Structure 1
C-alpha cells in the first residue's frame, strides 16, 4: 500500500467559506486547495481588530478539484476539465508549495490513479504509472504543451503555475505516445499585478533552497509583461548524497494590438547530484517473495561515486491572433535540449537473503526536440447545429545521442543489508554518436457538435507520417521503421445532466514508439516496432459550490512487451487494463474540507504465447487516497491537514510470481499565513512518510526500489 499525507498550515484570518457561512450566504471556494481566502479585518471576542492577511495567489473560481480550470489537451485545443471527455487531474502551484513536492510522485500523491515509481535526486525521479501503465519519458511530458525529453529531469516545481495530467491514451491529442498518460508542466506567466516574492527552504538531511519570483508589466497600457523565476538548491541529501541545482524560467508576452499577442518562454536548469539509489533488477531472482524491505534513505547500496548530472534547455516562441470574434489562430515553435551523464549501479537481486551482483553503467546521453504546431480554433453553425472546430498541423524532429563508448560491467557481489564495497569514480565528457532520429508530421482535426442544449458529439482524427532511424556507432544505418498515413481517431458523446455536470462516453486510439531494448536483456539494442492501443471510457464530472466529484470506468488494450523466460525482451499479445476510478471533495462547515478517491484495477495478459491470464506487471489492484484540511479558528491564518494513500500489492514481473506487497504512506504538514513588517509571510512545514514506513516500490518492469524515508521540509516565503 502506498499512502501520502500532507498537512498544510495555511489560511487567513477567516476563509471566504467561513465568511459566507457566518453571514448565512453560500460559501465561495478558497483561493487554492489548502489555502484559505483572505478575509477583511475582523474583531475578536474582545473587540480588538485582527490584522488583514492578503493572499497573493489569484482566486480560483472552482473547487479544489479545479474542474473549471482550462487544460491543454493538444489537438482538442484548450477546454476546461469539466468539458474534456477524458479523465484529467490539475495540481496548482499553491498545492505544490503546500506539499513541498520533491519529485513527480509527490505531485500526484493524493491521486489514486497515479502510482509513485520514483526516487528523488535520481534518474528515476519522473517515473510514475497511471492506471497501472508507465508514462513515456520520451513523449509523455510537455512544458506549456511543447515536448521535451524528461529522463532524469526533476522540474523546478517552484517555477510552475500548475501541472496537468491527461490519464490514458494521448494518441489523437499528441501523436505517438505510450498509453499511460501525458504530463504538461505550465510555467508561471506575467501577472496583471506586480509580483515580488522570495522564499527559503530546508529539507533533511541538509538541503537548502532559495527561490525568487518577479513579475512586472510595462510599456503603453502595460502591453508588455515579464516574469522571472529562479531556484537554487544545494546540500546533503537523505541518502548521504549531494545535490546542486540551479533553475531559471523566463516568460515574456506582448499584446501588440487588440487581437495580436506574442509570447516567449525559456527554461534553463543545471543539476548535479551524487549518491544515487541503485535500481534493483529481479529478472534473475529465484524466490517467490522479496527480501525484507530497506529504507530508501540508506547509504548501504552505493556511494558518492554514483552520480547524475543533467542539463535542460527549452525555448518557445509563439503568436496568438484573434481573426474574428469566433475564430483564432495559434502557432508556436519550440526547441528543447536535454543532456545527462550517469554513473549508476544496477543490483541484480539473487535470493531472499538480499545477495546481489553489482553491475555499473557509465555513459553520456543527449536529446534534442524541435517542434512546431499551428492550429485554427473557431465556431460555425450548420442549420440547428453549432460546431466547435480545431484544425491544425504539427511537425516534430527528435534526436537521441548516446555515448560512443559506454561502460557496463560487473563490479562484484554484495548484500542489501551490508555496505556496498564497490566504488567506481568517473568523469563526464564521453564522445556521443547519433543513435536515433525520429520525425513526425501530422494533420489533425476535431469537431465538437452541439446537438441540443444538453447533447454534444466530439469526433477527431490525427493523420501522422512517422519515421524512425537507428544508427551504429560508425554512423551506418542499423534499423529503420517508417509508416505513412497512421490514423489515430477519437470520438466522444457528452451529455450535460445540468450546467455543471457532464456525462461522457469516449473512445481513442494511440500508437507508441517501438522500444530500444535495454542493456540488461539478451537482445540489447534491438529496435522494436510501434505498438497500438485502444481506450474505452465512460465517466461523469460534477462541479458545485460546496462539492465536486468525478468517476470513470475504463478499458485499455495495449500491445504487451516483456522479458520472456530466455530474458529476451519481446512484443507478444496484449495487456488489458479494466478499472474504476472515483473521487470527490466536499466542504464541511466553516473549516473542514475532505477529499478522497480510489482506483479498482483488473489487468491481465491476453493473446500471447506466454503469461496469458497473469496480472500485468506494475498494475496494483487497489489504490485509495484521502486528504483532510482544517482551518484552525483559534489561530487565524493557520490551516492543518493530512492526506494518506494506500497502494495494493503490485506484480513485479510478467511471470506473475513476485509482488511488492501493499503499503501505506502518511505525510503531515502545516501552513501559516501572517503579516510581518507590513509584508505577507507564509510559513510551511511538512513531514512525508511520517511513520518512516519501509516498503518495496515497483519501479519498472522487473525492477524495484526502496521507498523514500521520512522527510522533513520547512519553507518561508515573503511577498513584497
Structure 2
C-alpha cells in the first residue's frame, strides 16, 4: 500500500511535551487518555514518541518500550486507504501480507515469520476480540498498534507473533467540535460514505463523545460484492478532577459474496506451483460463496487519580463475533491447475468477557526511583461451531477456467465447542538506576483452564494449570533523551489450538505451547529522522500437519533475525525511508522436519518509500513505495516454495481550503504493474496476490 508521510512543522511546545514523556521512569501521565490530533498524526518518521498500550506495562511511548513496536496513525490509514490488515502494515518489513479483504483470511498477517493468533492476538482499545474473518472499519480508528513477538507477560496467553491493538477514535480533549464527511471509491465499483462527529458538552465540557458511521457497498475487484455498515461510539465523563468514566461501542455487519477461494497444495504432485493468477480473476470465485460477519464490542472503564503520581483504573469489555461461511477450498492436484472443489458451509461464533483492575505510579527507595504496575485480570472466551456443517467435495475444475460447481445449504445450528478461562495477577517494576540506566522486571501468574466439547455437550478434552508464570526482564540505556538501547527477555504461553475443519483431527483441542524471546535493539527519534533496529531470537513449540493430515504439536521452531528501519526528512519537501528484515528459521528437537525452514517465514523482506511535497502547489504530496518479499517455504516438508515478488504503489494527497472548510483529496494505486504472484496464506495454502487496484477519497471538514 502507498505510504505517505506529509511533513509539517511541529510546534516547540509540542516537542517539549513529547520529550517529557520520553522517559516513563521519571514521568507518569496521570491524566485520562487523550485523542491524538491530526497535526501530531503528521509527525514525520516512525512515531516513536507516540504512546502504545502494553497491557501489564501500562501505557508507554515506543521509545520507552523495550520491545519492537509499530504505530500506524489515522492519517496514514486514510492515506493508504487500507482495506485489509496487510495494507495497514505495508511499510513494515517484519510483516508479511497473508490477508484478503473478501474472504475469511481478512486479518491474517505474518510477523517475524509467525502468523498472529486470531483467538488472542487482536484487541480493540486493549480489549480482546476474536478476529477470524473480520475486516475492521479502518476509517473509524485513531491508530493501529503492533507489538511484535511474545506478549505473555503483557496480555496473558497468546501466540508469539505479536499483538495488534486497534485504537478507536476518541472524544476531543478541548471543546473544539469535530465534524467531517468523506466519500470513497475503490476498484472496481465499491462506494463508501463515512461520517465522523465529536465534541464536548455540559458544564466545564464534562462530557465528550466521538461517533463514526460508515456504509460501503458495490462490486469488488475480484468480481464479488460487498455490503458493510459500521458504527462506533466513544464517550467519556470527567466526573471530578480525579475521576473519569469511559464507554465504548463498535458494531459492524458485513456481507461479502463471490469471495476468493483458498488453494490447498496438500495433494499437489511435484514441487512446482501452477502459473500465478491475478487476484482479480473470476475463475476463483462463484456467486454462491459468501462470508457474512458480525462484530460487536462494548467497553466501560473508570480511572481515578490518587495524587502523588498514582492512578488506579478498571475496565470491562464484552465482545462478540459471528461468521456464516460458504467457502470452497480448491485442492490442487497438478501444475496444470486441476483441482477438486471441497466446500465448507456453516456458522461459527466467539464471545469474550474481560475485566481488569490496575494501579500504576512512582515510589522512591533511597536513590532509586520505581515505576510500579500492579494488576489483576479475568478473561473468558467461548467458541461455537456448527453442529451439522457441510464439508465435502462438490466437483472438480481448473483454476484457469470458470467454476460451475454450486452449493447452497442452510439451517445450521451451533454448539459450544470450547471455552477458555484465564485468571491472572501481574506486577512490574521499572527501576531508574541512574539518569541513563534502568531495568525492568515483571511477571504474570495465570490460572488457565481450557475445555473442548462434543456436539452432544459432553467434555471431549480438558487442560488446566494454576500459577503459570510468564516473566519478562529488560535493561535500558538512554544514549540521549530520544535514543534508547535495550535488551529484553520474555516468556509466553499460547492457548492450545482448536483444530480446523481441513484436518483429519478436526475439533481436537491441543495443549498450550511455551515460547521464549531474546531481543536487543535501539530506537531513536530526532527532529528530522528516526531509526530502529533489533536482533531477536524466538523459540516456540512447533505445530504442523503431519503426513496423515493430522494437526500435531511436535518439536520446536526457532526464529532468529534482524529488523531495521529509518525515515529521513531531506530538505523542505522530501521524505524517504526504508525497512528490512532478515530471518533464519528451522524446525528442531525431534520434529518430523528437523532442519527445514519454518513454513510461512520469508528469508528476506525489504521496503522503500518516498514522498514529495510539491512546492508549486502547497498541500499536494505525491509518493511511491516498493516492497520485496523473498521466497517462502509453503509447508514444513520444505519441498515447495512460494517465489519472491516485488510490488510497487503510487499515490497522492491534496489538502486545501474551500469556503473556509478543509477539503482533502486522496488517490492510491496498489500493485502498479499489475504483477501476478502467489502469496503464502497459511501452511500448505496459497492465494493470488491482489491485482492492480485504484482507490479515491474526498473528505470535507465542517
Q: TM-score, normalised by structure 1?
A: 0.93
CA distance in 1, matches of 2:232, 2:160: 30
Shift of 1:525: 2.0
Q: 2:633 is matched with which residue: 651, 656, 661?
A: 651
Q: Does 1:377 align with 2:360?
A: yes
1 CA distance for matches of 2:638 and 2:618? 53
Q: CA deviation at 1:301?
A: 1.6
Distance change (3 Å), C-alpha of 1:528 and 1:56: closer
Match of 1:37 in 2: none
Classify the secondary structure of the residue corresponding to 1:172: helix
Give runs of aligned pairs for residues 468-617 of structure 1, distance below 5 A.
Answer: 468-617=450-599
Q: Specify the alignment match of 2:283 in structure 1.
A: 300
Shift of 1:140: 0.2
Distance 1:572 1:466, change over 3 A: same
1:718 match: 700
User: Whose relative contact order is higher, 1 or 2, with alpha carbons under 8 Å and at least 6 apart?
Assistant: 1
Of 122, 125, 135, 1:141 maps to: 122
Q: Which residue of 2 aligns with 1:393?
A: 376
Pairwise CA distance, 1:63: 3.6
Residue 515 of structure 1: how far off its partner (Å) = 1.1
Q: Say which of 9, 29, 36 aligns to 1:16.
A: 9
Cα deviation, residue 325, structure 1: 2.8
Counterpart contact for 1:170–1:181, Cα < 8 Å: yes
Whole-Å separation in 2 of the counterparts to 1:409 and 1:361: 7
Aligned positions of 1:221-620 closer than 5 A: 221-427=204-410, 430-620=412-602
For residues 350-396 of structure 1, give each alpha carbon's deviation from its aligned partner in whole angstroms, at most 9, with x where no partner exists: 11111111100000011110000110001111111100000000000
Assess if the C-alpha contact under 8 Å between 1:667 and 1:688 holds in 2.
yes
2: CA distance, partners of 1:646 / 1:488 = 36
Post-superposition Cα deviations, 1:544-602, rounded to whole Å, max 9, x if no partner, equal 10111000000000000111122221111100000000000110001000111100000
Please, which moves more after superposition, 518-527 or 268-277?
Answer: 518-527
Which ranges of structure 1 fall in alignment gaps of 5 or more residues? Answer: 32-54
Structure 2: runs of 5+ lacking an equivalent: 19-35
* Contact in 1 for aligned 2:4/2:76 (Cα 8 Å): no
- Distance in 1 (CA, whole Å) between partners of 2:44 and 2:425 is 36
CA contact (8 A) 2:171 2:208 kept: yes
User: 1:75-130, CA deviations, whole angstroms, 9 ceiling, x for partnerless residues?
Assistant: 00000000000000000000000000000000000100000001112110100000
Q: Is the 8 A contact 1:266 1:315 kept in 2?
A: yes
1:91-106 counterparts in 2 under 5 A? 91-106=72-87
Aligned equivalents of 1:164, 1:517: Cα separation in 2: 28
Write the distance in 1 (CA, Å) between the matches of 2:13 and 2:233: 39
Q: Using the alignment, how far apart are the partners of 1:353 and 1:391 within structure 2?
A: 59
1:662-719 Cα offsets, whole Å, 9 max, x none, are 0011111110111122211000001011111111100011111111110000000000
Over 3 Å counting, the alpha-carbon distance change for 1:26 and 1:517 in structure 2 is: closer
User: Which sits farther off after the overlay, 414-423 or 58-67?
Assistant: 58-67
Secondary structure of the corresponding residue to residue 325 of structure 2: strand
2:102 is aligned, of 95, 114, 121, to: 121
- Structure 1 residue runs of 4 or more that deviate by more than 4 Å after TM superposition: 25-29
Q: Secondary structure at the match of 2:633?
A: coil
User: Which secondary structure does the structure 2 equivalent of 1:83 belong to?
Assistant: coil
Query: In 2 relative to 1, CA 153–26 (structure 1 residues): closer, same or farther, beyond 3 Å?
Result: closer
Indicate which of 632, 642, 646 corresponds to 1:660. 642
TM-score (norm 2): 0.95
Match of 1:82, SS state, is coil
What is residue 43 of structure 1 aligned with on the other side? none
Do structure 1's residue 705 and structure 2's residue 687 form an aligned pair?
A: yes
Residues 319 and 115 (structure 1 numbering): CA distance in 2 closer, same or farther, change over 3 Å? same
Could you list the per-position Cα deviations for residues 515-560 of structure 1 after superposition, in whole angstroms to 9, with x for gaps in the alignment? 1222222222221111000000000001110111000000000000
**Preserved CA contact (<8 Å) 1:559 1:575:** yes
Per-residue deviation, 1:62 = 5.1
Shift of 1:180: 0.2
Q: Residue in 1 aligned with 2:112?
A: 131
1:210 pairs with one of 193, 211, 227: 193
Shift of residue 61 of structure 1? 8.8
RMSD of the alignment, in Å? 1.8
In structure 1, the residue corresponding to 2:555 is in which secondary structure? Answer: strand
User: Which of 173, 181, 184 does residue 198 from structure 1 map onto?
Assistant: 181
Partner of 1:635: 617
Q: Distance in 1 between matches of 2:569 and 2:476?
A: 28
1:63-83 alpha-carbon deviations (Å, 9 max, x no partner): 430100010000000000000
The yes-or-no answer on 1:80 pairing with 2:73 is no
How far apart, in 2, do the equivalents of 1:365 and 1:680 lie? 44
Aligned equivalents of 1:636, 1:91: Cα separation in 2: 24
Aligned twin of 2:672: 690
CA distance in 2, matches of 1:204, 1:89: 28
Q: Secondary structure at the match of 1:59?
A: helix
In structure 1, the residue matched to 2:31 is none
Q: Distance between the aligned counterparts of 1:519 and 1:139, measured in 2?
A: 20
Distance in 1 between the 2:445 and 2:375 partners?
11
Q: Does the aligned pair in 2 maintain the 1:146–1:334 contact within 8 Å?
A: yes
Q: Distance in 2 between matches of 1:701 and 1:210?
A: 37
Q: Is the counterpart of residue 154 in structure 1 residue 135 in structure 2?
A: yes
Deviations 1:491-523 (A, max 9, x none): 000001111110000000000011122222222
Measure, in 2, the Cα distance between the counterparts of 1:467 and 1:283: 33
Distance, in Å, in 2 between the alignment partners of 1:89 and 1:604 is 26
- Show the counterpart of 1:46: none
Query: Is contact 1:61–1:68 with CA below 8 Å preserved after alignment?
Result: no
SS of aligned partner of 1:300: helix
Deviation at 1:160, TM superposition (A): 0.3
User: How far apart, CA to CA, are the structure 2 residues paired with 1:326 and 1:68?
Assistant: 21
